[in-house]
Structure 1
Amino acid sequence: MTTQEQEILDFYTRPAAMTSGGAHAPRFDELPGDVASLVRVVQGLLLHQHWAQAYGVELPDERRGESHLRPVDRMLDRLLAHDDRPLSAARPLDTRLVGVCRHFAVLLVALLRAKGIPARARCGFGGYFHSVDFVDHWVCEHWSAAEARWVLVDAQIDQIQREALKLDFDVLDVPRDRFLIAGDAWAQCRAGEADPSKFGFLDMRGLWFIEGNVVRDLAALNNMEMLPWDDWGAMSSADGPLGEDQLALFDRLAAITRSPDARFAELRQLYEGDARLRVPATVFNAVLNRPETV
């Protein structure tokens, strides 16, 4: 392994702004150290906001607000306020932290890093929720030293969801054609190989939506894993077509995020050097329709 390769793995092993356990980090010590076990831990702590009814849970509005928590340490603050037992103890449904796919991915990243396993969150689109669409989604990507490759893991999909979705693959090793990182979705649509209207969430879809996920994936690769509805800088609204300069920028970003290790120096320099791409101190929460301090 080269020095540069080790530096990249080290970068994705260190806790960062969104993946630090903070005061709760000592609670990670008692957890198991393998990926499959940590996925089960995450599933025992979180409840997906949009899947709650499948578990027989009706969420009050105040609990839905938990999905707007960003850093893992604040997620754990709220979780432990509901139930202060060790993190290895699966919670009853009514005391799990409410989140979305991003929270499952980021919490797993935090736990893997705490165990010395390089990991990063990836923003893109899952092709296994609807038969013809790719849905806005986040997963975790971890480094398998044994296989010398990055492996995609969908920590959100437990047995209930697997059966409901009739999945035919291992969620601990998601095929790259079933989850498309945002840069792959962008590249396929730009090449005419995919239809942009098939990518998004509910009635929000198209190149503008994919573009936003490219920026979020770039930020995640720079250890700033934001909410799926956080907007800033270079992201466009759905109101107008993208100009040639915008298309060129996102062609470049897609290429970089599709090969983040091979272009790691460029990825870091572009993110840190371009204020349109770097996560600012204040972002716009598009769900709550307000600016929020990160």
Structure 2
Amino acid sequence: TQDVSDRRVASGPMLAYYTRPGVMTSAGRFAALLDGLPHDVAALAAVGQGLLIHEHMARGYGVTLSEEDRSSVHTRPAEELLAQIVARDSRPLDVARPPEARLPGNCRHFTVLMTAMLRARGTPARARCGFGGYFGSGTFEDHWVCEYWDAGEQRWRLVDAQIDAVQLGWFDIDFDLTDVPRDQFLIGGDAWERYRSGAADPGKFGLSLIGETGDWWIAANLMRDAAALLNLELLPWDCWGAMPGPEDPIDPELAALFDRLAALTQAPDATLADLRQLCDDDRLRVPPEVRNAVRGRLERV
């Protein structure tokens, strides 16, 4: 399993790589705000839950968002997320804001902020893009979680930083959210492997909210997960290179490329150099501008 692989090969330099802030996980001019935050992983996740609100779940908290409110979901760097958070409320980050004062985002924003907070306290962490199977929809839903290094157990664990006490009342979750089982959250590479082996129906992977699923969605999240492993955590709707759309067939040559990419993302600590080399392929490399599919335009990253 991936746990066994990571336990065997995670090295000092590798862990250091995932402790240093990246382009999207640097707090930048707000770094001092992360000082003194809790060291307990669950408590740290609760900090983010008191700062952010999921744009598609806001009504469950009694909040109605305008389109202007939702513009923050297009924010990529943690530094800019923090800028918007403190512009709304300048109190310390561990002071939970009322739901209507929280910054709208999605699972990716909870994950990026969690990754930034963990790295700031010296804990190796990285964002993972894939699919969550615990939302009660019968679909493995498009989702992001944070993967962090448990030094005591010498293994990587998954933490879902989005699911708070309110959401626990909506979903049938019977596991530790700071140690999400690997069959409950599938990284993009695991989902791709299941699909390619015939073990999973690609029509069960996507976003049921908008009625879109398929092999193209699995491939897209595989590419986003690979980019995140190289410290570039993009938006869930950022598109580039060979990333297919709903109407794009995945031919055998491209499928073989995704097979190789999936294998490398499944054991990244052993294969990071190979992953970096493969992602130099023009079909996978993240360019200076990506297409924001929601806004229908190119944006610099």
Using structure 1 for the length normalisation, give the TM-score: 0.97
Shift of 1:269: 2.0
1:188 corresponds in structure 2 to: 194
**Match in the other structure for 2:292:** 285
Alignment of 1:39-54 (within 5 A): 39-54=45-60
Q: Secondary structure at the match of 2:189?
A: helix
TM superposition shift of 1:279? 1.7
Q: Give 1:35 deviation, angstroms.
A: 1.1
Which one of 257, 261, 265 corresponds to residue 253 of structure 1? Answer: 261
- 2:230 maps to which of 222, 225, 228: 222
Q: How do 1:92-111 residues align onto structure 2 when only pairs under 5 Å count? A: 92-111=98-117
- Match for residue 219 of structure 2 among 211, 214, 226: 211
Q: How does 1:92-241 map to 2 (within 5 A)?
A: 92-201=98-207, 202-241=210-249
Shift of 1:189: 0.6
Q: Specify the SS of the correspondent of 2:161.
A: coil
Task: Name the SS of the counterpart of 1:14 in structure 2.
Answer: coil
- TM-score for both structures, normalised by structure 2: 0.95
RMSD between superposed Cα atoms in Å: 1.4
Kindly provide the CA deviation profile for residues 227-270 of structure 1, in whole angstroms up to 9, marking residues without a partner as x.
Answer: 00000012012113211110000000111101111212111222
Distance, in Å, in 2 between the alignment partners of 1:78 and 1:279 is 26
* SS class of match (2:64): coil
Q: Give the SS at the match of 2:11.
A: helix
Q: 2:36 aligns with which of 13, 30, 34?
A: 30
Partner of 2:241, secondary structure, is coil
Query: Secondary structure of 2:163's partner?
Result: coil
Identify the residue that residue 86 of structure 2 maps to in structure 1.
Answer: 80
Residue identity matched to 1:141: E
Task: Quote how far apart the aligned CAs of 1:169 are.
Answer: 1.0
Identity %: 56
State whether residues 195 and 201 of structure 2, in contact with CA within 8 Å, keep that contact through their aligned partners in structure 1: yes
Report runs of 4+ in structure 1 exceeding 3 Å deviation. 1-4
Secondary structure in 1 aligned to 2:285?
coil
Q: How many angstroms does 1:130 deviate by?
A: 2.7
* Counterparts of residues 1-20 of structure 1 (less than 5 Å): 5-20=11-26
Amino acid aligned to 2:101: T
The AA in structure 2 aligned to 1:290 is R
One of 223, 230, 243 as aligned partner of 2:251: 243
Moved more, 248-257 or 238-247: 238-247
2:248 and 2:89 map into 1 onto residues whose CA distance is 47
Q: Distance in 1 between matches of 2:282 and 2:227?
A: 12
Shift of 1:167: 1.1
From 53, 67, 72, the counterpart of 2:73:
67
Alpha-carbon distance between aligned partners in 2 of 1:170 and 1:200, rounded to the nearest angstrom: 24
- Give the letter for the 1:253 counterpart: L
Task: Tell me, in whole angstroms, the C-alpha distance in 2 between the residues paired with 1:66 and 1:259.
Answer: 33
> How many angstroms apart in 1 are the aligned matches of 2:50 and 2:9?
38
1 CA distance for matches of 2:236 and 2:64? 23
Query: Deviations along 1:124-155, whole A, 9 cap, x unmatched?
Result: 00001134210000000000000010000001
Question: How far apart, in 1, do the equivalents of 2:47 and 2:137 lie?
Answer: 29
Query: Residues of 1 paired with 2:9 and 2:197: CA distance?
Result: 35
**Cα distance per residue 1:12-56 (max 9 Å; x no partner):** 000010000010001111212221221111111110101100001
- The 1:95/1:131 distance shift into structure 2, 3 A limit, reads closer
Amino acid at match of 1:65: S
| Count of residues paired in the alignment | 293
C-alpha separation between the residues in 2 aligned to 1:160 and 1:2? 37
Report the CA distance shift for 1:4/1:48 in structure 2 as closer, same or farther (over 3 A). Answer: closer
Cα distance in 1 for residues equivalent to 2:9 and 2:195: 36
Amino acid at match of 1:75: L
